[in-house]
Amino acid sequence: MTAASHTTIARRRRRELIAGAIVLAVLALLPLAVHDTYSRNLIIITLLFAGFAQAWNVLGGYCGQISLGHALYVGVGAYVSTMLLVRGGVPPTLGMFAGGAVAGLLALLVGWPCFRLSGHYYAIATVVVGEIGYQLFLNWDWISAAEGINIPYVRAIGDSWLWLQFRIDKLPFHILALTFLTATFLTAWWVEGSRWGFSWRAVKDDPIAARSLGVRVFRSKMAAAAISGGLTGIGGAIYAQYVGYIDPESVMNGQLSILIALPAVLGGVGTLWGPLVGAAVLIPLSELSRSYLGGSGRGTDLMIYGALIVGVALLRPQGLASLLGIRVRAPRDVAGDVAESPRAA
């Protein structure tokens, strides 16, 4: 073992992996304790969104570029995978990676003009771009526009891992969602200790000093976009297979963007556990308020999110994860210094 593996940093990172493995094991065994369909469904959705939140966090938290239009990548992943299945006969197990690749490329395309914008300007741009995507898809007949697509069962009978079709027992989706979450968690963990992770933190602290040490700011942001967009796209494909039906309203609209961005902010932006904690709180809350408050409760889920976000932002900007004693570095300004002009440093 070299000197590098004995550092405090290295030891902390090993502890994080071990903690992650424990949490993963618990989550994997959860279906043994929970049997009713509703709860199992809730868990699957929560796991998926925790994965989305982790992916978002790579760009929004670690890299500091707050994206409020991230549902675009969910939608692109979902549609690419579904169209490949429906028109090309490609199994979703492959299609999801195509979806991820296209989403990642799109994220690069979006990032290219937008990354020179700082803070709020970038956030606004993501909202606009998200809306552009939404409206284009809503009017695009080749992909069935607003009607949406019903995802068919390819195999006439029975289940299939290749085609990700499971008729009765939804447990495989639990495994799939958990795998997705694990992949995003590991990616976040890896990225934290990588060149990019260090670059992003340096740029957030002092962009001029960072450049003077050779940090390639733009390139590092593009890396964040590709990773974040790509992972989100893969998750989008999984989501599509799980729900069985996609349309722009359900996989690409502004509401979904909010649901993806909020968990990380709630739990602790730019931290490893923040998105998990945030999703664990937010997603059940959202599902439950929708189910129990039903028709007359319309809007209550929004009120809850809104209040939570304002509350956390003002009272505990480092996120709820810090309340659980999870060590949180005082993060430097995530969205960058409030700039006079649209141009970043």
Partner 1 sequence: MLLEVDRVSKSFGGVAANVDISFDVQQGEILGLIGPNGAGKTSLFNSIAGQVTPDRGEIRLDGARISGLGPVACVEAGIARTFQVVRSFDSMTVLENVIVGAFARARGARAATETALEVLDFTGLAARADAPAIGLTPSEKRRLEIARALATKPHLLLLDEMLTGLTPTEAQAGMQLVRDVRTRGVAIIMVEHVMEVLLPLIDRAVVLDLGRVLTQGHPADVVRDPAVIRAYLGDRYAPAA
Partner 2 sequence: MTAAVIVQAAASGLLMGLIYALVAAGLSLIFGLMDVVNFAHGELLMLAMFAAFLIWQATGLDPLLQLPLVALLLFGLGVAIYRLLIVRALSVPFNRGMVQIFVTFGLAIFIRGAAQFAFGGEYQSISQSLLANRTADIAGIYLPLPQVASGVVCLLAFTALLAISRTEFGRALEATREDRDAVALIGIDRDRIFGLGWGLGAATVGVAGTMLATFYYVSPNVGANFALIAYVTVALGGFGSLTGALVAGILIGETESFTALLISPALKQVGMFAIYMLVLMVRPRGLFGRL
Binding mask 177-196 for partner 1 (x = CB under 8 A): ----------------xxx-
**CA 111 to chain CA centroid, nearest Å:** 17
d(CA 108, CA 339): 23
Closer by beta carbon to partner 1, 4 or else 168: 4
Q: Find, among 241, 223, 227, the residue nearest to 80 by Cα.
A: 241
Q: Where are the beta strands (DSSP E) in the chain?
A: 149-150, 245-246
Q: How many residues make contact with partner 2 (CB under 8 A)?
A: 56
The residue (of 85 and 335) whose beta carbon lies closer to partner 2 is: 335
CB atoms within 10 A of CB 326: 19
Site string for partner 2, 53-92 (x = CB under 8 A): -------------x-x------------------------
Cβ proximity to partner 1: between 205 and 337 the closer is: 205
**Tokens 């994206």 belong to residue:** 67
Q: Considering the rule CB under 8 A, would residue 149 count as an interface residue with partner 2?
A: no
CA distance 269 to 53: 10
Q: What are phi and psi of 299, to 5 degrees?
A: 90, -20
Per-residue binding string, partner 2, 124-143, x by CB under 8 A, is xx-xx--xx--xx-xx----
Our finding on whether 109 is near partner 2 (CB under 8 A) is no
3 binds partner 1 (CB under 8 A): yes
How wide is the angle at C-alpha 127 spanned by C-alphas 121 and 128, nearest 5°?
90
What CA–CA distance (Å, rounded) separates 209 from 193?
20
Smallest gap from Cβ 204 to partner 2, in A, equals 10
Binding site for partner 1 (CB under 8 A): 2-5, 7-10, 193-195, 198-199, 201-202, 204-206, 208-216, 329-332
